[in-house]
Amino acid sequence: MVDSTYLQTLKELTVALREIEGVKASYSIATLFKLVPISKGWIQLPIVQNGTLDIAYINSQDLLRWFISTDGKSSLIVLHIDESQEIKPQQFVDSLISTLNNYGITEFYVLGRVWTEFHFLKTTVSELVTYTTLGVIILAVLIYLFFASIKIVIGVVISLVVSIVVSAVWLSWTSPYLPVVSPILFTIILIVSVSDMIHITHRFMKSLAENQGISQAIKITLKESGIGVFLTSITTASGFLALIFNPTPVIQWLGIHTAVNVMLVFLTVLFFYIPLIMILRPTPAKGKLYVALTKAMGVLYERVLSRRYGLWLTVVIVGIFLIIGLGAWRLRADTYLLADVSRNHPSHIGFEYINDQFLIGRFQEFIIKFKDGRRTLSPEGLETLIEVEKSLRELWEPRVVVSPVAILRYTGILNQNRLDTALLRSQEKRLSRLMQKLFFAVVDSSGTIARFRLMIPEKGSRYTHNKVNETVSLIESQFPEIEVIPSGFIYAFDQNNIYLSDSLWLSLSFVVLLSLLIVGLIMRNFVLLAIFLFVNVLPLVVLAGTMGLMDITLRATTAMLFSISFGIAVDDTTHFLSNFYLYSKMMNPIDALRKTYYNTAVAMSITTISIVSVLGILLTSDFLATRYIAIFLSITLLSATILDLIAVPVVLKHLLGKRIKSKNR
């Protein structure tokens, strides 16, 4: 990089990049050379001594450490994007790569909002198409293996496609630009659709097997499974609607649109899938997996409700879940830069390279404002800023500091903390303009406000938030003439994550209370409500414990798992309790429990297997947040299913047994 030809090329490239649409300005070491007022040209800088890079000089200059890599083989060009323009990522990236190639630059790393947006969009579209297609194929195979009916498979696949199309039309009307979470949305649409269809199909095929006609079978299906499907749609929608309490707009978008689409799926199943099944007129059939699952549920039922095994098995399972839940004490609200992107993603690769080679990391910004209106470039103001920078370095131990003091040190006006007052006064206007124009604009237009940008190692939001409060208090106590204001995107990002941990309980409380209200109004039974609450809150304890044990922190994407998990996990419990409530009105409680188990347990198991299979394909996502959703939703759903199949019937039998004995007395 010390070669003069390379430096000349870099200077020309820096200027050429300004021609790209949307680029407001560009900066490199060629730009920095203009800062030196005592030099006649950029080649005269002491960056090169006897043809080699002067590492000692570079390490003493924060601005050079920003633009030159530690090994001296790479240099950084910073593009200032005009935020007032609507940048088209594809067009921008094509122009950027073309310009770099024209100057012989073939090896480069890119970091920044537009580059990241381009790759996020590209990855999002790819995953959206891939996961939706694979999800439909996997579900079609599973449906055939369980129900052994091509007509049922055709009905399910067509209905899934219709659900996706209806959702896509809704989104095209309300949200033409899909955010990065859209693959999750369409996967959840598949999950909710197939869950409803499996319960409807299972009861319908069972009615046909009992020699019921098509019309009578549909009536029985709607009567026994319809209320469960309706309740699960409401509770699932409320789980996503609770995300409106999340402060992150993209998460709010996911919550609102998923809630709407869940209800659209319900209407599609009710008014499209059921009529389609009547038209197709499938014959009752059972696949090998269905037969095996039915036998397994029969054995499990006898074991669960036996005096010898049932209660002890329930105690052991609940005990294991509670032990796992102890890991929740390690759960904390925090975040790291690019925490939701896998390391092989282009945006992460660029970040890692620049972070390793240029000694930069997380930005922490402080605005320093003089209360008496003193100018930052006055000798008195600079004396204060020099002391402020010294305190900031002691407190934070930053890799790089970009500030008015750093620029003056680079230009030679400040040497070993001694000001060349005469040179400062002769160059003050020129320096003031440059400090306002540079991308790290460290002085405002009035000249009374200074900005310090610290590059600190990434330690997370909670640590940084506490450190910021400590810094503001200490600096203002040392220098009563100034006001210290934390600023910058990262500061706002940290505040968002702190608020996130507080809003988690609000969204979770909303979905739990709303689900209890809906189920309570229909069932009107406090015992069933208590069981409903217990078996669906305990999986959330397992979720929190697992996240704590795996050291997965709460942030915008992981905190939403709790309300989503509750909304999806309650489906099976709702089907089980609603069927039991219905059958208990027609027969004695013990017989109602038995019929509920045999009619519902198989459908619950098929639903869980199908959902976990669809979620499994998300494990290949480039977005870690999507992987976390797949893993932890599966854990929560499996936990809830185990409780529904074992704990719920045991508790119901125990309570029913006491009630029957009381009546006999």
pLDDT of residue 272: 92
- C-alpha span between 569 and 545 (Å, rounded): 17
CATH number, domain 115-341+494-664: 1.20.1640.10
Q: Is 147's pLDDT higher than 70?
A: yes
Which long-range contacts (C-beta less than 8 Å, at least 24 apart) are formed by 122-125? 123/180, 123/345, 123/622, 123/623, 124/178, 124/179, 124/180, 124/182, 124/183
Residues 6+ apart with CB under 8 A from 222: 274
The 10 Å CB-count burial string (b at 16+, else e) for 338-356 is bbbbbeebbbbbbbebbbe
Backbone angles phi and psi of 555, in degrees to 5: -150, -170
**What pLDDT, on the 0 to 100 scale, is given for residue 313?**
85
Q: Long-range contact list for 165-172, CB < 8 A, 24+ apart?
A: 166/261, 166/264, 166/265, 166/268, 167/261, 167/264, 167/265, 170/257, 170/260, 170/261, 170/264, 171/257
Average pLDDT, the chain: 80
* Residue 223 and residue 150 in contact, taking contact as beta carbons nearer than 8 Å: no
What is d(CA 419, CA 253) in angstroms, rounded to the nearest whole number? Answer: 53
On the question of pLDDT at 501 being above 80, the answer is: no
pLDDT of residue 150: 92
- pLDDT on residue 521: 67
**Backbone φ, ψ for residue 432 (5° rounding):** -60, -45
What gap in Å lies between CA 552 and CA 177, rounded to an integer? 30
Nearest to 98, CA basis, from 13, 24, 22: 13
Residue 543 to residues 54, 127, 195, 315, 513: CA-CA distances in angstroms? 54, 26, 21, 19, 19
Task: Label residue 328 exposed, middle or buried (CB < 10 Å: 0-12, 13-18, 19+).
Answer: middle
**Token pair for 201:** 């199909």
For residue 366, the cross-strand partners are: 452, 486
Q: Which of 110-119, 462-471, 593-602 has the lowest mean pLDDT?
A: 110-119
418 strand-pairing partners: 415
Binning pLDDT at 50, 70 and 90, where does residue 314 land? confident
- Please report which confidence band the pLDDT of residue 556 belongs to, taking 50, 70 and 90 as the band edges: low
Of 57-66, 497-506, 654-663, the poorest mean pLDDT is in 654-663
pLDDT at residue 154 is higher than 90:
yes
**Residue 4, pLDDT score:** 64
Domains 115-341+494-664 and 361-487 share a fold: no
The structural domains of the chain, with segments of one domain joined by +, span: 4-108, 115-341+494-664, 361-487
Mean pLDDT for the stretch of residues 598-606: 85
Say if residue 158's pLDDT is above 90: yes
Q: Which residue has the higher pLDDT, 625 or 420?
A: 420
Nearest by Cα to 397 from 457, 484, 476: 457
Closest CA to 221 of 541, 603, 614, 508: 603
Q: Which of 104-118, 217-231, 493-507, 535-549 has the lowest mean pLDDT?
A: 493-507
Q: pLDDT tens, 175-213? A: 766 666 666 778 788 888 888 888 888 888 888 887 778
The fold for domain 361-487 equals: Alpha-Beta Plaits (3.30.70)
Residue-level pLDDT at 43? 34
Give the count of beta carbons closer than 10 Å to the beta carbon of residue 465. Answer: 17
34, pLDDT greater than 70: no
pLDDT value of residue 473: 92
pLDDT in tens, 262-312: 899 899 988 999 899 888 888 877 788 888 888 888 888 888 777 667 788
